[in-house]
């Protein structure tokens, strides 16, 4: 009872942040409007949707404060002058650095930046080892990592989550790729063979479809509206390469680098330049090399080649493209990069090693 009473008092204090109460209807409407965004970020970055929503409700007063309304900033993330190269919003006329907030084109970018803010900072790394359904541990971990100065920050988040039943959204998390996979060490002289690298994952993750079902799926012809690209062959393995200035994708908003950023299947990427390494790219993108390699499913010691597509965030689990027609030397990794689909998802949708297929066969990318 004492614990419940304390949580009620903490929540009551939250409702009176800055001396103005936040009507419950405003908060419930906020949850209904933004729950999809929170779940989307959970699927991409493994941050509990309940935590994301609770943090946004707390920081933005459920989207009702000035920073949220005028800058689309729902998490109160400040500029961090040495890091942020996007638009800014000053809460005070004196343009004090202490009151400089990141300004976003829309709320979706605010939610994505919040995910990146946590995912790329080493001090929050231990949080991603926690179960995605343990919002209490996440709340306490955020406080211990120094996310907020409020000594009751963790209890406040927990109270918000319990009051508005936000934990139910965590249950929507998909079990695939629950934990990031570490970088696999290999010697410099080892060749890059994506099929053998992931053979064990293929065997564990893939269940054989009945032959009749496979034959039936091949009859489902879906239109493929995808730009024609010519993959470059490096050490007998296809690498998804695009020529600078002829990128058939729209440019995207990504304020962590001055390089051109594009979007494929709702996933942002850059093109590697001559001399780039994953370490140097990670530094310029203000993230860890481990995360950058994970986003691109590169678990050996290979480095990007000039023009290679390098994703700067987790690839999608879905694709509007139904099937891919195999050509010589195609690998699961190449197809994953080509369509911006997570490698494990691609492997799971198909029956084992590509050695079971021949040139001209179709493999499932986004088929249902």
Q: What is the DSSP string of 189-218?
A: T----HHHHTHHHHHHH--PPPHHHHHHHH
Sheet holding 262-264, edge to edge: 262-264, 267-271, 309-311
* 87 in Cβ contact with 106 (< 8 Å): no
pLDDT for res 30: 96
pLDDT for res 175: 56
Residues 194, 318, 292: CA angle, nearest 5 degrees: 50
> Where do the domains of the chain lie?
2-170, 194-364
Listing DSSP states for 36-56 in one string gives HHHHHHHHHH---HHHHHHHH
Q: Which of 156-165, 198-207, 336-345 has the lowest mean pLDDT?
A: 198-207
Q: What is the mean pLDDT of the chain?
A: 78
Mean pLDDT of 113-127: 89
With a CB cutoff of 8 Å and minimum separation 6, the contacts of 74 are 34, 56, 59, 60, 63, 68, 107, 110, 111, 114
Cα separation, 74 vs 244, in Å, equals 35
**Mind listing the pLDDT tens digit for each residue in 48-101?**
999 999 999 999 999 999 999 999 999 999 987 667 878 889 887 667 777 789
DSSP 129: G
Residue 227 scores a pLDDT above 50: no
Residue 234 scores a pLDDT above 50: no
Helix (H, G, I), strand (E, B) or coil at 310: strand
Cα 147 from chain centroid (whole Å): 20
Helix (H, G, I), strand (E, B) or coil at 38: helix
Residue 134 scores a pLDDT above 80: yes
**Mind listing the pLDDT tens digit for each residue in 139-190?**
999 999 999 889 999 999 999 999 999 999 999 876 544 333 332 332 222 2
Phi, psi (rounded to 5 degrees) for 215:
-65, -40
The residue ranking higher by pLDDT, 331 or 82, is 331
Phi, psi (rounded to 5 degrees) for 289:
-60, -35
> Checking DSSP bridges between strand 309-311 and strand 267-271, what pairing results, if any?
antiparallel
Cα separation, 73 vs 70, in Å, equals 8
**Contacts made by residues 90-94, CB under 8 angstroms, sequence distance 24+:** 91/66, 91/67
**Percentage of the chain modeled with pLDDT above 90:** 46
CATH entry 3.80.10.10 includes domain 2-170: no
Of 166, 154, 134, 171, nearest to 43 by C-alpha is 171
Written as six digits, the tokens of 298 are 């590169």
pLDDT for res 237: 54
Residue 51, CB half-sphere, CA atoms under 13 Å: how many? 28
Written as six digits, the tokens of 284 are 């310029």
Helix (H, G, I), strand (E, B) or coil at 144: helix
Of 238, 239, 220, nearest to 329 by C-alpha is 238
DSSP 36: H
* 134 in Cβ contact with 140 (< 8 Å): no
């Amino acid at each position: 009872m004492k614990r419940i009473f304390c949580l009620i008092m903490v929540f009551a204090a939250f409702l009176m942040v800055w001396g103005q109460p936040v009507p419950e209807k405003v908060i419930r409407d906020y949850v209904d409007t933004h729950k999809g965004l929170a779940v989307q970020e959970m699927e991409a970055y493994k941050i509990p949707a309940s935590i994301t929503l609770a943090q946004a409700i707390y920081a933005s007063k459920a989207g009702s404060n000035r920073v949220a309304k005028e800058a689309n900033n729902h998490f109160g993330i400040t500029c961090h002058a040495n890091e942020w190269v996007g638009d800014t919003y000053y809460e005070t006329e004196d343009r004090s650095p202490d009151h400089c907030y990141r300004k976003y084109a829309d709320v979706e970018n605010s939610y994505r930046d919040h995910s990146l803010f946590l995912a790329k900072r080493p001090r929050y790394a231990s949080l991603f080892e926690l179960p995605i359904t343990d919002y209490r541990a996440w709340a306490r971990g955020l406080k211990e990592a120094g996310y907020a100065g409020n000594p009751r920050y963790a209890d406040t988040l927990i109270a918000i989550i319990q009051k508005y039943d936000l934990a139910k959204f965590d249950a929507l998390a998909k079990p695939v790729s629950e934990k990031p996979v570490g970088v696999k060490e290999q010697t410099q002289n080892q060749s890059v063979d994506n099929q053998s690298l992931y053979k064990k994952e293929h065997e564990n993750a893939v269940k054989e479809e009945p032959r009749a079902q496979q034959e039936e799926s091949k009859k489902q012809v879906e239109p493929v509206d995808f730009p024609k690209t010519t993959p470059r062959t490096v050490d007998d393995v296809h690498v998804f390469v695009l020529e600078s200035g002829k990128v058939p994708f729209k440019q995207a908003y990504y304020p962590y680098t001055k390089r051109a950023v594009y979007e494929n299947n709702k996933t942002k990427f850059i093109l590697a330049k001559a001399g780039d390494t994953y370490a140097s790219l990670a530094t310029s993108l203000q993230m860890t090399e481990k995360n950058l390699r994970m986003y691109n499913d590169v678990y050996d010691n290979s480095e990007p080649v000039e023009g290679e597509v390098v994703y700067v965030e987790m690839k999608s689990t879905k694709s509007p493209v139904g099937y891919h027609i195999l050509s010589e030397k195609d690998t699961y990794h190449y197809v994953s990069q080509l369509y911006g689909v997570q490698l494990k998802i691609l492997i799971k949708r198909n029956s084992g090693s590509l050695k079971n297929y021949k040139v001209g066969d179709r493999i499932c990318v986004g088929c249902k």
